[in-house]
Chains A and B, each alone.
Chain A
Amino acid sequence: MTVVARVARWCRGTATIWWLSPALIYLTSAASQASELEDPPTRWTEGLYRVVMLRDYNTRVVLAGATVMGVTAGVVGVFMLLRKRALLGDVVSHAAFPGVAIAYLCAELTSPGTGKTLSYLLVGATVGGVFGAMATSWIRRATRVKDDAALAIVLSVLFGVGITALSIVQRLETGNAAGLTNFIYGKTASMTWSDLKLIVIASVVVAGVVMLLFKELTLLCFDEQFGASHGWPTASIDMCLNMLVVAVCVIGMQTVGLLLVVAMLIIPAAAARFWSDRIGTMTCIAGGFGAVSSATGVVVSSIVPDLATGALIVLFAASLFVGSMLFGVRQGLVPRGYLLFRLRRKTAIHHLLRAFYEAAEVRTQLNGQLPTSLLLSHLGWKERTFAGVAKRGVRKRLVRRDGQEMSLTELGQRESARIVRNHRLWELYLIRYADIAPTHVDRDADQIEHIIEGDILHELERTLAQSADQEVPQSPHAVAVSHPSAVVSGDGQSTKSEGS
């Protein structure tokens, strides 16, 4: 955590531009070297070497373009994710398709042969995307149709318009529609220098806007009403965010294709959420994830033939997401599971020590030996569980075990006193303030006592007017350990659902 935090703090100041810089380096090197045709690589290691060393002009261009796109999509995606509008990107990219097709038609109609001019198509895509975003929010506001249905309708109907327009384009005498389907699946492999220029310019603009409006966008996503009460034009900032999404979709359509652009908006951002609690850091990480997955996708697809680059990029992003979900420091499943496991083990030891203490308390001495059978029946555990916990206790030098007898070490005595004290303080607190009957209090205290530390302990001592020395208060209820027979019948104490 600390390493991540330190790295994060270092790069937060320069935020998004920092992530753009490696891409820009690639870019300049791509520009400086002339294109050269070489024989296809014979071995994959050789292919990898050539890709990494940027030997192919084409690879350089594609790599730079995809990486820059990945960063931009990741950065903008963070805000869409936090605004809970993750799927708007899907609508925008689908809506851009009819824009492209209609722009093509218009161009062909006015002057045949110019249909595939990229700038026309991109203008069409932008107009379509903006129209899609605006239509969605208009439907949401003007009708009682809910958000989800508005998204689905705009997405599918506009795509239908696009298909209709495409069917016209395909049957035109003059042009062919091959260029248009590139927008659907992406055309990473055939990216050109002019495509790259466009992507970089758009990305720099997007990154610049994000940097300038970072605090405004954060406020919009976190607490729109508060922002509005301060006089921020939240509607305009929202519109600005939508424009950023449109920009990302337009440049993303060329790389991963319109069907998968939304993935580049959502997945890196969602993955980054597992690593950080600060929006600045999260933005950097999301940009990094976007860059890494894009770059990896391009590299792998240039080595292995017959792989769809766009899909590959998304799959690398998805695997980053899975990895983050499993191992992310913030809420990853593995760290969380490990913490739970640690807590369980700690709890088990605590129970053993408390059982020991309570049994020994009756005999008024802590340093004596107790038969394990007594403890076992007191705890109500399985033999194997008990053996495991006892072994750990021995390893931690809390207890000593000689055959069927057990005793507490010096450390164990102190520790057990502390644990029992916490337990009883909490019991007292519950009885006094939470109105829990003394006979039931033991079970409730069981769950809390293991995490009582520091602040809460002092607070507890203060409220209960207990002195802070190590004195262990009397148990508020009868501790039935003196006679093994009583233990078996139990008072709620021996029926713990404790185990490994």
Chain B
Amino acid sequence: MSSTHRDSPASTEPNEHPASSPLSIHDMTVAYHRRPVLWDIDYDAPLGKLIAIVGPNGAGKSTLIKAALELIPKVAGEVLVFGKPYRKQRHVVGYVPQRESVDWDFPVNALDVVAMGLYRQIGWFRPVGKRHRALALESLEKVGMAAFADRQISQLSGGQQQRVFLARALAQDAELYLMDEPFSGVDAATERAIIDILRELREAGRTVMVVHHDLQTVEEYFDEVLLLNMRMVATGPTSEVFTPENLRKTYGGKLALLDRVGHQMQQGGARK
């Protein structure tokens, strides 16, 4: 601290993030229309764990995942996957978007959707071949949906659609999985099936981060938890962090001040 003239010295040295961490987010701020919705997230995911991202509606859970995947621009900060920038590590990251994000009336069947997870592997211009079809079927089998491979996707129930999405990510055989609300709108049986798959992934040494909204099951399902409400409230092993005190901090309404300052920044950026 002595070496510096400013208030805070060490902030320019990001090297404390371990290269082994499947996902390290360094001082990331994300804004929509210049209004910050995620403030200064600094997080290192531990390897080979099931991690829940928990927070109230509008807390920025999906935003966190999307910003990490560079689907929305960041105002500040950087994201490293196994110590390298995400751009170079895309093949090791599997993404399961929200089920509502696509038009389920689209003319493809379950197998086609799963094969989409392999498109990058197949490469430009080449059609989906037999080998890849077999791979896709394999991962459909993993989620117990092989019998529905030929079904048009609108003819699947909500839980089955979710499993197809999961299979699409599995087909990719990634090291790190980011899943946006895989449990939303699914029945109890599907939920069990999904969590079994997630556990299998963990046994295989993969890291899985899941946006989750059911507080009842967090302790049962997840090893680690990341409490989020526009800022990171707490993070760590579920047993330590998932406390009433922390939950109150997370769910006790938005920080009104944060909202106000965000508004101010938006106005300040756009007008004034």
Q: Which A residues fall within an 8 A CB radius of B?
A: 82, 84, 212-216, 218-219, 221-223, 225-232, 273, 276-279, 281-282
Chosen A-B contacts, 28 in total, with CB atoms closer than 8 Å, are A82-B106, A84-B103, A214-B127, A215-B127, A215-B128, A218-B108, A218-B112, A222-B106, A222-B113, A222-B116, A223-B101, A223-B116, A226-B95, A227-B116, A228-B71, A229-B71, A229-B90, A229-B93, A229-B97, A230-B90, A230-B95, A231-B90, A232-B120, A273-B107, A278-B109, A278-B152, A279-B107, A279-B108
Among A82, A223, A226, which residue has the most Cβ atoms of chain B within 10 A?
A226
**Would you call B102 an interface residue if the criterion is a C-beta within 8 Å of the partner chain's C-beta atoms?**
yes
For B102, the chain A residues whose CB sits under 8 A away are: 222-223
Alpha-carbon separation in the docked complex, A214 to B126 (Å): 9
Residue of A nearest to B72 (CB): A225
Give the docked Cα–Cα distance between A276 and B107 (Å): 7
The 4 lowest CB-CB distance pairs between A and B, nearest first, are A277-B152, A229-B95, A231-B90, A212-B125
Interface centre among A84, A225, A227, A282 (most CB of B within 10 A): A225
Q: Which residues of B sit under 8 angstroms from A214, Cβ to Cβ?
A: 127
Please name all residues of chain A whose beta carbon is closer than 8 Å to the beta carbon of B221 when the two chains form the complex.
Answer: none
Task: List the A side residues contacting B87 at CB < 8 Å.
Answer: 231
Question: How far is the CB of A139 from the nearest CB of chain B, in Å?
Answer: 17
- Distance in Å from the Cβ of B186 to the closest Cβ of chain A? 15
Q: Do residues B119 and A222 form an inter-chain contact, with CB atoms below 8 A?
A: no
Contact of A222 among B70, B93, B103 (CB under 8 A): B103
How far, in Å, is B117 (CB) from chain A's closest CB?
A: 8
B contact residues around A281 at 8 Å (CB):
107
Give the distance in Å from the alpha carbon of A195 to the alpha carbon of B193 in the complex: 60
Q: Taking the complex as formed, is B255 at the interface, i.e. its CB lies under 8 A from any CB of chain A?
A: no
Separation of A214 and B102 alpha carbons in the complex (Å): 19
Beta-carbon contact of B109 and A277 below 8 Å: yes
- Determine whether B258 belongs to the interface, using a CB cutoff of 8 Å to chain A: no
- For residues 84 through 143 of chain B, which have their beta carbon under 8 Å from a beta carbon of chain A? 87, 90, 93, 95, 97, 101-103, 106-109, 112-113, 116, 119-120, 122, 124-128
Instruction: Decide yes or no: A278 and B108 within 8 Å by CB, A228-B71, A229-B69 being known contacts.
Output: yes
Q: In the complex the two chains form, what is the Cα distance from A250 to B258 in whole Å?
A: 53
User: Distance (Å) between the CB of B178 and the closest chain A CB?
Assistant: 9
Q: Are B107 and A82 in touch, CB under 8 angstroms?
A: yes
Say yes or no: A221-B106 contact (C-beta < 8 A), given A215-B128, A229-B71. Answer: yes
- Contact at A225–B101, with CB atoms within 8 Å? yes
Q: Complex formed: what's the CA distance from A370 to B168 in Å?
A: 58
Known contacts being A213-B125, A215-B128, A230-B90, is A225 close to B71, with CB within 8 Å? yes
In angstroms, Cα B142 to Cα A231, docked, is 25
Task: Find out whether the CB atom of B120 lies under 8 angstroms from the CB atom of A230.
Answer: yes
Q: Which residue of A lies closest to B180 (CB)?
A: A225
**Residues of the A chain whose Cβ atoms lie less than 8 Å from the Cβ of B108:** 218, 222, 277-279
Tell me which of A216, A227, A276, A278 has the highest count of chain B C-beta atoms within 10 A of its own C-beta: A278
CA distance A218 to B106 in the complex (A): 10
B interface residues, how many (CB within 8 angstroms): 29
Chain B residues with Cβ below 8 Å from A218 are 108, 112, 116
Pairwise interchain contact B103-A215, C-beta atoms closer than 8 A: no
By the criterion CB–CB under 8 Å, are A231 and B120 in contact? yes
Q: How long is the Cα–Cα vector from A213 to B125 in the complex, in angstroms?
A: 5
Which chain B residue shows the least CB distance to A463? B189
Q: Closest chain B residue to A275 by CB distance?
A: B107
Q: Which residues of A contact B90 (CB under 8 A)?
A: 229-231
**Taking CB as reference atom, which chain B residue is nearest A277?**
B152
B120 touches A216 (CB 8 A): no
Expressed in whole angstroms, the Cα–Cα distance for A276 and B112 within the complex equals 14
B91 CB to nearest chain A CB (Å)? 8
Residue of A214, A215, A279, A282 contacting most chain B CB atoms (<10 Å)? A215
| A281 vs B107: C-alpha distance when bound (angstroms) | 9
Minimum CB–CB distance from B134 to chain A (whole Å) comes to 17
Q: Are B119 and A216 in contact (CB under 8 A)?
A: yes
Q: CB distance B97 to A226 under 8 Å? A: yes
Shortest C-beta distance, B114 to chain A (Å), equals 12
B120 engages A278 (CB within 8 Å):
no
Considering the complex, give the chain A residue whose CB is closest to the CB of B113. Answer: A222
Contacts of B128 in A (CB 8 A): 215
Apart from A219-B119, A232-B120, what are 5 other A-B pairs with CB-CB below 8 Å?
Answer: A215-B127, A218-B116, A222-B102, A229-B90, A229-B93
- By a CB distance below 8 angstroms, the chain B residues around A282 are 107
- Is the beta-carbon distance between B125 and A230 smaller than 8 angstroms? no
Residues of B within 8 A of A277 (CB): 107-109, 152
Contact yes or no, A219 B116, CB < 8 A = yes
Of residues B69, B70, B116, B168, which shows the largest number of chain A Cβ atoms within 10 Å of its Cβ? Answer: B116
* Complex alpha-carbon distance, A278 and B106, angstroms: 8
Cβ–Cβ contact B71 & A278, under 8 A: no
Query: Assuming the A-B contacts A215-B127, A277-B152, A278-B109, are A230 and B119 also in contact, with contact meaning beta carbons closer than 8 angstroms in the complex?
Result: yes
Q: How far is the CB of A15 from chain B (nearest CB, A)?
A: 9
A229 to B108 Cα, complex, angstroms: 20
Residues of A within 8 A of B120 (CB): 230-232
Write the chain B residue with the least CB distance to A13: B127
Q: Give the distance to chain B from A295, nearest Cβ to Cβ, in Å.
A: 25
Closest partner residue, chain B, to A228 (CB atom): B71
* Docked-complex contact A216 and B124, CB < 8 angstroms: yes
Contact pattern, B 151-185, Cβ under 8 Å of A = 1, otherwise 0: 01000000000000000100000000000000000
CA distance A273 to B154 in the complex (A): 14
A84: min CB distance to chain B, Å? 8
Q: Chain A residues near B113: list those with CB within 8 A.
A: 222
Q: A225, B127: Cβ atoms under 8 Å?
A: no
- Least Cβ distance of A440 to chain B in Å? 23
- Assembled-state Cα–Cα distance A151/B107 (Å): 26
State which residues 66-91 of B face A: CB under 8 Å.
66, 69-71, 87, 90
Q: Mark B51-73, 1 if CB is under 8 A from A, else 0.
A: 00000000000000010011100
Contacts of B168 in A (CB 8 A): 226
Give A389 Cβ to nearest chain B Cβ, in Å.
31
Complex Cα distance, B113 from A227, in Å, reads: 12
Complex interface: chain A residues within 8 A of B124 (CB)? 216
- List residues of chain A with CB within 8 A of the CB of B71: 225, 228-229
Q: What are the residues of chain B within 8 A of A215 when measuring CB–CB?
A: 119, 122, 126-128
Q: Considering the chains assembled together, what is the distance between the CA atoms of A368 and B125 in angstroms?
A: 71
Q: How far is the CB of B174 from chain A (nearest CB, A)?
A: 11
Cβ distance B118 to chain A, nearest Cβ, rounded Å: 10
Per the bound structure, the CA–CA distance linking A214 and B109 in Å amounts to 16
* Residue among B108, B116, B125 having the largest count of chain A Cβ atoms under 10 Å: B108
Contacts of B125 in A (CB 8 A): 212-213
**Which residue on B lies nearest to A78, using beta carbons?**
B107
Cα–Cα, bound, A277→B106 (Å): 8
Nearest chain A CB to B130's CB is how many angstroms away?
A: 12
Closest-CB distance, A72 to chain B (whole angstroms): 19
Q: How far is the CB of A331 from chain B (nearest CB, A)?
A: 10
Task: Identify which of B101, B109, B119, B122 gathers the most chain A CB atoms within 10 Å of its CB.
Answer: B119
